Amino acid sequence: MRAPVIDNLQYVNWSETAFRQLREGRVDAIHVTIAYHESFREAVLNVSQWNGWFEQFPDLLLRGTTGDDVRRAVETNRTAVFFGFQNPSPIEDDIGLIEVWHQLGIRFMQLTYNNQSLLATGCYEDNDTGLTRFGKQAVAEMNRVGLVVDMSHSADRSTLEAIENSTRPIAITHANPKWWHRALRNKEDRVIRALTESGGMIGFSLYPHHLKDGTDCTLQSFCEMVAEAASRYGVASLGIGSDLCQDQPDSVVTWMRNGRWSKQMDYGEGSAAQAGFPPQPDWFTDNRDMPNIAKGLADAGFAQDETDAIMGGNWLRFYDTSFGAQE
């Protein structure tokens, strides 16, 4: 089997065109966002929509729940689709729904999306109180069933406590180091060190607000950042989580940031000028550009086996050990 290409976070406005672009870019697996602020019922409808796409495009897509589904996708020239939540809202206040959602195919769940949740503190809050009592029990239940703890939008103390409390490696599926670009959502060195030293994974983001120089970030700059991260943390914990939001209308940003909790636009890290989606760098506009990253990593000095690991091999190893029930 050739080395797989895995993008461990996308929020594309999906269409047949986008599905075909996945195959043109030879992207073998993606982790897609099923929920931002949806309730249980609303998130179920999003799963149902994906079921319709699996039925409509069986030559392009397959539903992913294990690492072997990635291998099957490579062998059959399709893309395996893994489900995740960017907010714990679909479990509402019921810890039993964690197992139900795992049974429905969810494989990643963020404990927070920017704000304080019932489980932990988001990165936009002024005070980070760490994991709540519910949060600690939720982490234990996620560990038990094989639902990965994702701290991409969480504050530092909460992230460190999640790493400490989890008996299985966790993930930061889409973020970059703050030593490269001090976006509020990016992660401090000590957080990434704790993550990687515990066997966790970080997926580097290509969302312009997370990039040094934003839309004008160069491929060379991005890949040099990955090289520096490899020197600090080792190659084995690094992957891609592009946070690609291709073809989404700007109104979706309002849902992502505001949900139902605010009557005012939450601009997060920026100003009103950042209310919509920023343009992608010209070297990564859609999934057809995925090979550009592999070439950039090679140009930055990575050996072929290291490039293969970052482009998907590391995520596949993580999938193999993370999605099943705890022994």
Each of the 327 residues of the chain gets a pLDDT tens digit; together they read 899 999 999 999 999 999 999 999 999 999 999 999 999 999 999 999 999 999 999 999 999 999 999 999 999 999 999 999 999 999 999 999 999 999 999 999 999 998 999 999 999 999 999 999 999 999 999 999 999 999 999 999 999 999 999 999 999 999 999 999 999 999 999 999 999 999 999 999 999 999 999 999 999 999 999 999 999 999 999 999 999 998 777 767 666 667 777 777 765 554 444 567 889 999 999 999 999 999 999 999 999 999 999 999 999 999 999 999 997
Residue type, 16: E
Strands (E), the chain: 6-10, 29-35, 61-63, 79-85, 106-110, 148-150, 171-172, 201-204, 238-240
Does pTM surpass 0.75?
yes
Nearest to 200 by CA among 219, 212, 185, 187: 187
Residue 115, both tokens: 């704000």
Nearest to 2 by CA among 316, 320, 249: 316
State whether residue 288 is helix, strand or coil.
helix
The total of other beta-carbon atoms located within 10 Å of residue 57's CB is: 16
Please state whether 214 falls in left (phi above 0), alpha (psi between -120 and 50) or beta: left
Residue 75, both tokens: 């062998």
CATH no. of 6-322: 3.20.20.140
Nearest to 171 by CA among 283, 8, 33: 8
**Cα 22 versus chain centre, distance:** 17
Cα separation, 82 vs 54, whole angstroms: 12
